[in-house]
Amino acid sequence: MVADLFVAVLPSSLIITGDALKERYHHIWHMDQSLNALCVLLPENTQQVSDILKICTLKKLPVVVHGGLTNLVGSTETNGDEVVISTERLNKIEEIDTASRTATVQAGVILENIHNAVTAKDLLFPLNFGAKGSAQIGGVISTNAGGLRVLKYGMTRQLILGLEVVLADGTIISSMKKIIKDNSAYDIKQLFIGSEGTLGVVTRAILKLEEAPKSRNAAYACMNDYSDVVKFLKHMDAGLAGSLSGYELMWKNSFEQMTSASDAVRPPLPYDYNYYVLVEMLGGNPMKDLEQFSDLLETALEQEIIEDAVLAQSASDVEWFFRIREDVNNLVDHMTYDQHFDISLPIPLIGSYIEECYQSLVQINGVEQVYAFGHVADGNIHFMIGKANDSGSLKKEIDHCIYDGLKSIGGSVSAEHGIGTHKKDYLNLCRTPEEIALMRTLKKTLDPNKTLNPGKVF
């Protein structure tokens, strides 16, 4: 039995086999589907991960890593012949260093727990997205997740100072430094950030923190022309001079659906406009920040950049505004089958490209709903498509409708979710043959036996 190979390096309580696997799953949206794997291993430290991978390499056993199971591209799917390493027991926040403004954490720590821990120290870990209550930081790092504040703070890779990773053969690569500047040759950790677990298993990280903001303001604004979406972005970004932290766009039908599920997400503005923008400011002076934010909204109205706006009057209003944007289940819950996209494209082209996609998608037989929204300030738009069936042919037709035009405009099929298994057929639309060849060389060098996440990305 394969599980017997690991009894020398793990207590039996950390090895899951047989009927117990029926209680596991490969994604939080598919909890009704039992995990298909040889066994699940629950290491509690980096050395145990190393010992596991040494055995898997020796016995030529493929490995799939499970974190919070929130990915949307099939990265945690299994075929039945893999060993699953779950990072759920690597769940310690080892240190919060207020002087260096860093947090040292293990890979299985849930993002929201990091938020709560650093907030108690008057600090901020700015990475934020809807799945924060389930996503584990190791998976966040492995996919180079983005989210709602990329505009101000950057992607995950901008927030990682140190990293510890275990290679396929068990070698531990540890670069756990708290320093921001380190130009001593190659920045090795960047190889593993965004590599989706195909080059190594992330076990620990040092996160870059910020001082906690003293004020948070938010508003919804609406407009009818996409050109005004861009004008409003420039207006707010220039006026706030570095304090603009979020700029989220929802198309009309998306806003209507996202605000119709319950009173908790009631609409702050009427359904009379084509575009709805959620804008956020983080600052250091509550009274002055609110005045500045309000004045900029008023100026935008006077200059007819926006048609209407509503300003959050309290912290609970801010939470209400963001709940509308974050709770995408209000879209998914009304779909027979759903298909998700996270494309990236130049900001000026977003309006026309999405309009063309809308027009093409509704003509496809089997498409029931089309919703678009996203982080327009960093060029990332999400699509959620409701379908009548889950056939492969329908999926491909929808894929081509959204992806085919991206190459010619310098876009990407994945802004923040990664490639996994679902998008690997389209990697060539946003990477050159030379780039893909170099990726394959890195994979072959670090994982010659294709032990880690086999079949993912390529």
pLDDT for the residue numbered 294: 98
- Do the Cβ atoms of 151 and 378 come closer than 8 Å? yes
> DSSP of 176-216, one letter per residue?
----S---SS--THHHHTTSTTSS-EEEEEEEE-EEPPSEE
CB atoms within 10 A of CB 328: 19
24 and 97 part of one domain: no
Residues with Cβ within 8 Å of residue 39, at least 6 apart in sequence: 2, 3, 6, 15, 16, 17, 21, 83, 84
**Residue closest to 269 by CA, chosen among 316, 240, 309:** 309
DSSP 414: B
Looking at 326, 348, 364, which one is the last position of a domain?
326
Surface-to-core class of residue 295, CB atoms within 10 Å of its CB (0-12 exposed, 13-18 middle, 19+ buried): exposed
Cα–Cα distance measured from residue 373 to residue 190, given in angstroms and rounded to the nearest whole number: 29
Same domain? 200 vs 285: no
User: What is the CATH number for 195?
Assistant: 3.30.465.10
Measured CA to CA, the distance from residue 413 to residue 345 in angstroms comes to 9
pLDDT of residue 231: 98
Alpha helices in 306-345 (DSSP H): 315-326, 329-332
What total of structural domains would you count in the chain? Answer: 4
Bridge partners (DSSP) listed for residue 374: 249, 381
CATH number of the structural domain spanning residue 224: 3.30.70.2190
Predicted confidence at residue 328, as pLDDT, reads: 87
Whether residues 205 and 220 fall in one domain: no
344 and 394: one domain? yes
DSSP secondary-structure letter at 158? G
Q: What CA–CA distance (Å, rounded) separates 51 from 170? A: 6
Which pLDDT tens digits describe the chain residue by residue (458 residues)?
788 999 999 999 999 999 999 999 998 888 889 999 999 999 999 999 999 999 999 999 999 999 999 988 999 999 999 999 999 999 999 999 999 999 999 999 999 999 999 999 999 999 998 899 999 999 999 999 999 999 999 999 999 999 999 999 999 999 999 999 999 999 999 999 999 999 999 999 999 999 999 999 999 999 999 999 999 999 999 999 999 999 999 999 999 999 998 889 999 999 999 999 999 999 999 999 999 999 999 999 999 999 999 999 999 999 999 999 998 889 998 899 999 999 999 999 999 999 999 999 999 999 999 999 999 999 999 999 999 999 999 999 999 999 999 999 999 999 999 999 999 999 999 999 999 999 999 999 999 999 999 999 98
Last residue of a domain, one of 211, 244, 276: 211
Asked if 60 and 449 touch (Cβ cutoff 8 Å), the reply is yes
pLDDT tens digits for range 180-193: 999 999 999 999 99
pTM of the model: 0.94
Euclidean distance between the first and final Cα of the chain, in Å? 30
Instruction: Give the domain extent around 158.
Output: 93-211
